[in-house]
Structure 1
Amino acid sequence: MAGTGEGDPEKDCEGRNAGSATSDDGSRSDQQFIFPQPMGLKRLYFHPLTQTILLGFVCFMCPGLFNALNGLGAGGQVDSSTSANANSVLYATFAVAAFFAGSVTNKIGAKRALLLGSTGYALYIGSYLAVNIHPKAGGFVIGAGAVLGFCAGLLWTAQGSLMLAYGTETQKGLFISVFWSIFNLGAVVGASVSLGQNFHSKANSVENGTYIVFLGLTLVGVLIPLLMVDPTDMVRTDGTKVAAPRHPSWKVEIYGLWLILKTDPMILFLFPMFFTSNWFYTWQFNEYNNALFNIRARSLNNLVYWLAQIVGSLSIGFLLDQSGIPRRTRAFAGWAILLVMVFIVHTWAYFYQKEYTRESIPPDAQKMDIYDHGYTPKILLYIFCGLLDAMWQTTAYWIMGAMSNDPAKLAHFAGFYKSFQSAGGAGVWRADGAKTPFMNVFISTWTLLVAGLVFALPMIYMRVKEHTEYSDEVLARMDDSGHVRGATEVQNSRDDTKQEHRHSKAERERSESRQ
């Protein structure tokens, strides 16, 4: 339950209360005890931002390097069909796994979910090394993609839950952007390795050394969750404790999933935004980067794309955390920026896309190099694609974080996000594997992005408040049997506990004075 923790609250908290949520003006509602921060080096290590940075490095080494590989187009291969089909299977299993991953994560704990989830990335990157050595091993890549789908559901659900729960309400944009920057730094490093390995290559595929370096770094990332602090021991910077997982039965966890949809149905308006949040990768990576450029240009494009992601996430995160601006105003501003960026990127891209088709570019075509005429504006477009991607993902996470501070509820939200995101990815990657015309994929990308924003607007208007209210934290008030207590009942119970602690402390002080 939220507000419970280790140790004696009488000694730790001295009877003080604090809110489960801190509003932008710094006020608190009386819901949770204030817990003391650790001292010395332990305070630095237990700091929520430090743990978010470690979380970022898990994704730096695993999905970050996966993105660097995918960003090369066709996973660095000549034939895009195997990569597209593997991604289709990956996102299909990801969609199913992620929908229930919130329940699994709440049951087994976020650290175990991160550990299990990260192993799938090592297997998947290893499969590309295998197919580079044995070209007929394409089935292994597709099978590894299916395994990674289940693993990624766990990793991303745990990641979203912790990232959104560790920050106070005025820090969520900062924590999201710091995580997103470190995560994308993994893709930057991966892209730099690829560029260095392939800079003098005129071929259309990467060499074994690139995959070996990627695989080694990913295996390091698998071990990082072992170094992280248990979320049950985490205290936010305002002294409120991160809600401890209850580990109820699977039946209660599944009931909690249904309860989220029943009591907070406005999350449904975000599903179209979630669905399209990976859709654009297929056009960007395969229909643009892979279709038009040789491996050297693709590697450089990939590098600047992920660098742009860092800039995009930090800039939009900075805006969304401006405490001097009402939170609802910031939410609408973020939405408007996304709409403008969608039209800038896709209007620009349309003038390139109409000049070529899938049929006009045979597998052995001489593709554009970094020294060719017309390369500069095309790489600038790719930079804007990276900015849009980071802004979209950061804003989506921030909106979810504006709806709750409870990690159990946020785990379900993150699961919904990754589930629908992956369902969209599965569909568009399968379309690419089936050789759907480039223009069709492009138009569907543009249309779905706009539709996602249109559906999100009424949700922002009706659901985003100036600060999160405890009455919205349903799972934080649910016991192990699935019974949800009223917010007033919880508050009265805590007030009684507070009075008991004060009385006990006063009795102890009188006893000590008599002695």
Structure 2
Amino acid sequence: MAEFDAGPPNTRAAGNDDALRIKNDTNRAHTNDDGLVDMVAYQNEVPLWKRIHQHSLTQMFLMSIQAFCGPAMADAIAGLGGGGLATPQTSNIATSINYACLAITCLFGGPIVNRLGTKWALVLGAMSFPIRGASYYCNSKFGVQWFLIFGAFFTGTGSGCWYVAESGTIMSIAPSGARGKYLALWIVARNLGQLIGGAINLSKNHTAGVTGGVTPDTYIAFLIIESLAFPFAWLITPLHNVVRSDGTRVRVSEKIATKAEFKLIKTTMTSKLILLSALWAAWSFFYSGTWSTYLGTYFSTRARALSSLISPFFCIVGCFGLGFILDMKGVSQRRRAQYGLFTVIILNTGVYIWTIIMQTKFNKHSPGKIDWVDKLYPSAFLPYFFVQTTGPLSQSYMYWLLSSFATDAQANVRNGAAFRCLEAVGQAISYGMNTQIKTSPLIGFCVTFGLMAAALGPMIVLVNTTPNEIPADALDAEEHAREIDQSRKEGEKAEKEEDINYAVSRA
């Protein structure tokens, strides 16, 4: 764990591996005169199982497992192209409704999650995951389209609560010098879920010449995995109990009234941070609707199943590569933010240009349904393969950037909710737009490319204002310095009073 968590020097405001910086009064039992917690006492007095449970990496693993069971299974279904149905339109309608509900929930998610607590929001959200697999199964098995569409309202609302709690958690628990690697672990877990889902898809849909949708049994496997997120959500510990590997705790402020929380929605949505990242948020997942339609339109059932198996492989390499860039030693946080931005933009630009070239060729000469034995398969499939890496890179990068501006865990929840809301709006528009595309997804590719270009300018402005130290760390350092100074003054005052009392007694 220590090696995985190791960060660059001078990235912590205070504290070291032997001392735990503290904020909460409930943890004062181990606090020494310097306002730090003696880690030796912490290790001696707290049971091993509890220390492991409260460790930041353990909590990130638990979050990653839930991401594997929930969002990853949804991605695996989307990776079938049109949800694996015979025609992609019904799936696109349901997915568009799902993301519209998710966007509304995320808009008000900050106050809701900060009031419920991240753990209970995760539990509530995990309960909604199996509805997606069940609705696709009923549609595929019995032709019940109303369940697919009606269920989207529940999955969108429940997933919205989960996504807000997730974003606040993953941005808060990582040590400041290892955030890139932590976020890479989370993104990889999501794509490992798609890989497992792809193996299920391929095992049940590998016969040559099969047309239409995937077999109903495929969705049964998804349903079972989605149900596993619920017990793991119960294992999440409240943020104020998390102990980071660098000897710090998550900065958690006192709860404020619900009315005040709702007033902060406007403040958050109109903040410089969210306004400058709004187009990026809408773009970051916009690709999913168009590329899913591309896969469903031009590839055979078993080729689509194969795609959902092999697409995540390169993402694992890419996300950890970006993680190491964002955690580079000896480089300021602002410079790392700049490197990360241009890495993401350059890679996405290459994929978009390639895809538009392929789609232009398909508009001139329709390829029919491409199978994996066809000569055209590699050049037609690789753009989809690479966008499954470059797309997640943009999300991982943005969550890292948002956490660079955070003042406390509640701010991470609010910022994550705002970003996820705008992200969901982009997804809803993307899938809604693709319900109207009957022949060619070229328009969708061009819109996605244009949206990225429009987002670049504001993002450059935002990135160039990235603080070289996380505000939460700086605030903790200031508070600890004030506490030490106050303690020193009280000590001096006590000494003076003792001297006076002694002099009076002698007199």
TM, length-normalised to structure 2: 0.86
1:458 aligns with 2:458: no
* Superposition deviation, residue 6 in structure 1: 5.1
Distance (whole Å) between structure 2 residues aligned to residue 429 and residue 502 of structure 1: 67
Distance (whole Å) between structure 1 residues aligned to residue 480 and residue 279 of structure 2: 35
Q: Of the candidates 244, 248, 252, which is equivalent to residue 236 of structure 1? A: 244
1:411 aligns with 2:418: no
* Superposition deviation, residue 434 in structure 1: 2.0
1:294 aligns with 2:296: no
Give the partner amino acid of 1:370: W
* Superposition deviation, residue 144 in structure 1: 1.0
Q: Of the candidates 73, 76, 86, which is equivalent to residue 94 of structure 2? A: 86
The range that moved more, 405-414 or 67-76, is 405-414
Q: Of the candidates 290, 306, 311, which is equivalent to residue 283 of structure 1? A: 290
1:349 aligns with 2:349: no
* Superposition deviation, residue 102 in structure 1: 1.4
Q: Is the 8 A contact 2:252 2:408 kept in 1?
A: no
In structure 1, the partner of 2:158 is 151
Deviations, residues 310-364 of structure 1 (Å, cap 9, x unaligned): 222111111111122222111111111122112210111112111234x987xxx
Distance (whole Å) between structure 2 residues aligned to residue 332 and residue 381 of structure 1: 25
Q: Of the candidates 259, 263, 267, which is equivalent to residue 255 of structure 1? A: 263
In structure 2, the partner of 1:14 is 32
Distance (whole Å) between structure 1 residues aligned to residue 484 and residue 253 of structure 2: 19
Distance (whole Å) between structure 1 residues aligned to residue 159 and residue 253 of structure 2: 21
In structure 1, the partner of 2:387 is 385
For the structure 1 residues 466 and 34, does the alpha-carbon distance in structure 2 shift closer, same or farther, using more than 3 Å as the test? farther
Deviations, residues 407-442 of structure 1 (Å, cap 9, x unaligned): 100001111111001111111211111226522111
Distance (whole Å) between structure 2 residues aligned to residue 500 and residue 199 of structure 1: 76
Give the partner amino acid of 2:166: Q
Distance (whole Å) between structure 1 residues aligned to residue 472 and residue 400 of structure 2: 18
Q: Of the candidates 39, 59, 62, which is equivalent to residue 70 of structure 2? A: 62
For the structure 1 residues 165 and 251, does the alpha-carbon distance in structure 2 shift closer, same or farther, using more than 3 Å as the test? same
Q: Is the 8 A contact 1:34 1:240 kept in 2?
A: no
Distance (whole Å) between structure 1 residues aligned to residue 492 and residue 60 of structure 2: 35
Q: Is the 8 A contact 2:290 2:431 kept in 1?
A: no
Q: Of the candidates 122, 131, 140, which is equivalent to residue 132 of structure 1? A: 140
Q: Is the 8 A contact 1:164 1:410 kept in 2?
A: yes
Q: Is the 8 A contact 1:16 1:34 kept in 2?
A: no
Distance (whole Å) between structure 2 residues aligned to residue 283 and residue 434 of structure 1: 11
In structure 2, the partner of 1:481 is none
1:336 aligns with 2:342: yes
Give the partner amino acid of 2:242: M
* Superposition deviation, residue 454 in structure 1: 2.3
Distance (whole Å) between structure 2 residues aligned to residue 186 and residue 155 of structure 1: 17
* Superposition deviation, residue 223 in structure 1: 1.7
Distance (whole Å) between structure 1 residues aligned to residue 22 and residue 485 of structure 2: 12
Q: Is the 8 A contact 2:168 2:410 kept in 1?
A: yes
For the structure 1 residues 429 and 369, does the alpha-carbon distance in structure 2 shift closer, same or farther, using more than 3 Å as the test? same
What SS does the aligned partner of 1:356 have? helix
For the structure 1 residues 496 and 383, does the alpha-carbon distance in structure 2 shift closer, same or farther, using more than 3 Å as the test? same
In structure 2, the partner of 1:422 is 424
| Structure 1, unaligned runs of 5 or more | 19-32, 477-486, 505-515
* Superposition deviation, residue 471 in structure 1: 9.7
What SS does the aligned partner of 1:340 have? helix
Distance (whole Å) between structure 2 residues aligned to residue 15 and residue 241 of structure 1: 18
Q: Of the candidates 444, 448, 452, which is equivalent to residue 445 of structure 1? A: 448
Give the partner amino acid of 1:119: M
What SS does the aligned partner of 1:403 have? coil
Deviations, residues 243-299 of structure 1 (Å, cap 9, x unaligned): 34644321021133344456x52331001100111111112111x211111111111
Distance (whole Å) between structure 2 residues aligned to residue 497 and residue 304 of structure 1: 59
* Superposition deviation, residue 121 in structure 1: 1.8
Q: Is the 8 A contact 1:96 1:419 kept in 2?
A: yes
Q: How many residues align?
A: 468
The equivalences for 1:196-215 within 5 A come to: 196-201=203-208, 202-215=210-223
Distance (whole Å) between structure 2 residues aligned to residue 498 and residue 63 of structure 1: 51
The equivalences for 1:291-330 within 5 A come to: 291-330=297-336
CA RMSD after TM alignment: 2.7
Distance (whole Å) between structure 2 residues aligned to residue 180 and residue 371 of structure 1: 31
Give the partner amino acid of 1:66: A
Give the partner amino acid of 1:156: Y
Deviations, residues 43-94 of structure 1 (Å, cap 9, x unaligned): 2232101110110001100111010001111111011111011111111111
Distance (whole Å) between structure 2 residues aligned to residue 156 and residue 306 of structure 1: 21
Q: Is the 8 A contact 1:16 1:498 kept in 2?
A: no
For the structure 1 residues 17 and 268, does the alpha-carbon distance in structure 2 shift closer, same or farther, using more than 3 Å as the test? farther
Give the partner amino acid of 1:101: G
The range that moved more, 495-504 or 419-428, is 495-504
TM, length-normalised to structure 1: 0.85
Distance (whole Å) between structure 2 residues aligned to residue 254 and residue 163 of structure 1: 23
Percent pairwise identity: 23
Q: Is the 8 A contact 1:113 1:154 kept in 2?
A: yes
Q: Is the 8 A contact 1:15 1:499 kept in 2?
A: no
| Structure 2, unaligned runs of 5 or more | 1-20, 495-507
The equivalences for 1:29-178 within 5 A come to: 36=42, 38=46, 40-135=48-143, 137-178=144-185
Q: Is the 8 A contact 1:57 1:182 kept in 2?
A: yes
Give the partner amino acid of 1:178: L
For the structure 1 residues 503 and 55, does the alpha-carbon distance in structure 2 shift closer, same or farther, using more than 3 Å as the test? farther
What SS does the aligned partner of 1:269 have? helix
The range that moved more, 73-82 or 200-209, is 200-209
Q: Is the 8 A contact 1:294 1:367 kept in 2?
A: yes
Distance (whole Å) between structure 2 residues aligned to residue 91 and residue 161 of structure 1: 19
Distance (whole Å) between structure 1 residues aligned to residue 217 and residue 165 of structure 2: 32
In structure 2, the partner of 1:479 is none
Q: Is the 8 A contact 2:202 2:302 kept in 1?
A: yes
* Superposition deviation, residue 240 in structure 1: 2.2
Q: Is the 8 A contact 2:298 2:368 kept in 1?
A: no
1:496 aligns with 2:504: no
Give the partner amino acid of 2:307: N
Distance (whole Å) between structure 1 residues aligned to residue 345 and residue 487 of structure 2: 49
* Superposition deviation, residue 307 in structure 1: 2.2
Q: Is the 8 A contact 2:121 2:161 kept in 1?
A: yes
Distance (whole Å) between structure 2 residues aligned to residue 495 and residue 77 of structure 1: 66
Q: Is the 8 A contact 1:165 1:405 kept in 2?
A: no
